[in-house]
Amino acid sequence: MAYFTSKLGKTFYIKKGRKGKTPIIGCHGGPGGTHNSIAPLLELATDRQVVVYDQIGSGKSSATKSEHWTIETFCKNLDDLANHLGYDEFILHGASWGGTLILEYFKRYPKKVKGLIFHSSLISSKVWVADAQRLINKLPKKYVEIIKCCEKVGATDSKVYKEAMDVYYKKHCCRDLKAYEQKKKGKKKINFNEELYMYMWGPSEFCPTGTLKKYDGTPILKKINIPTLFMSGQYDEATPEAAKSFSKKVKGAEFKVIKCCSHSSFREDKAQTKKIMSNFIKSHQI
């Protein structure tokens, strides 16, 4: 565990393994989340170094102001980390919003990236919302109505809306109920930045109102010319259908479904999640 310092403050990171094959840098979700959600990625450090970190503004990293809550800032923070570690080339893993980050990083620094792993990733907000609406419509009717009405009148902080969120989350965000409850209780402890999440995303996973509301990274996909993996849980809010369609836009990309999992596959089935990534890396010898 360590820190490096930049103009924005200190960034916390964990590095595991010895120098060997191409290192991996993992980018967590949120925005506003922490490395805890992707910590099992460190277990891939058998023949290389693996690094996870708390993006600037959340977790154990320095707090930042809203003027710095931009894609550009987070790409710079990631590049500063890579430079601090002395990495000229690396594989990027991005979970949820982390997938947005690694896609945007590749757009800016394509020569540094030797492989991309999109893990239940946000690539297009329009697609995400459309999929979310389809999943919401499969919930019991009363919850569908609650979500619809609360969002219409701006009552997304109401008790009934949060109850409906829980129903959706337990189906599509984390199906391991014990892990889900621990995740909810642990948010304050790990310093999940709710304000940052609200600013860039919104009041719930399925209601973007922030700066990423109209995000669309699909035009970048056709520019990717390196080994790429798209993986998504069987019941994921980042649906397998969407991940598969995105993979088809990248020449030679692979697509894998993480069976019996939702958005939190590291919590639900760590072994299967790791195996998919490990097989991908080995098959491309990166």
184-211 burial, b at 16+ Cβ within 10 Å, e below that, comes to eeebeebbbbeebbbbbbbbbbbbbbbb
Which one of 125, 236, 262, 269 is the catalytic residue? 236
74-80 own/partner pairs: CB under 8 Å, 24+ apart: 74/31, 74/101, 74/104, 75/101, 75/104, 75/105, 75/108, 75/109, 77/6, 77/8, 77/11, 78/25, 78/27, 78/105, 79/105, 79/108, 79/109, 80/4, 80/6, 80/11
For residues 37 and 52, give the distance between their C-alpha atoms in angstroms, rounded to a whole number: 10
Q: Does the annotation count 263 as an active-site position? A: yes
Spatial CB neighbours of 186, under 8 Å, sequence gap ≥ 6: 36
Query: If you ran DSSP here, which 8-state letter would residue 207 be given?
Result: B
Which one of 68, 263, 265, 269 is the catalytic residue? 263
Which one of 96, 120, 232, 265 is the catalytic residue? 96
The 3-state DSSP class for residue 125 equals helix
Q: Answer yes or no: are the C-beta atoms of 130 and 104 closer than 8 Å.
A: no
Q: Does the annotation count 236 as an active-site position? A: yes
Q: Does the annotation count 96 as an active-site position? A: yes
| Strands across the sheet containing 48-53 | 2-6, 9-16, 48-53, 21-27, 90-95, 113-119, 228-233, 254-258
For residues 122 and 127, give the distance between their C-alpha atoms in angstroms, rounded to a whole number: 9
Q: Answer yes or no: are the C-beta atoms of 229 and 118 closer than 8 Å.
A: yes
Spatial CB neighbours of 282, under 8 Å, sequence gap ≥ 6: none
- The residues that are catalytic are 96, 236, 263
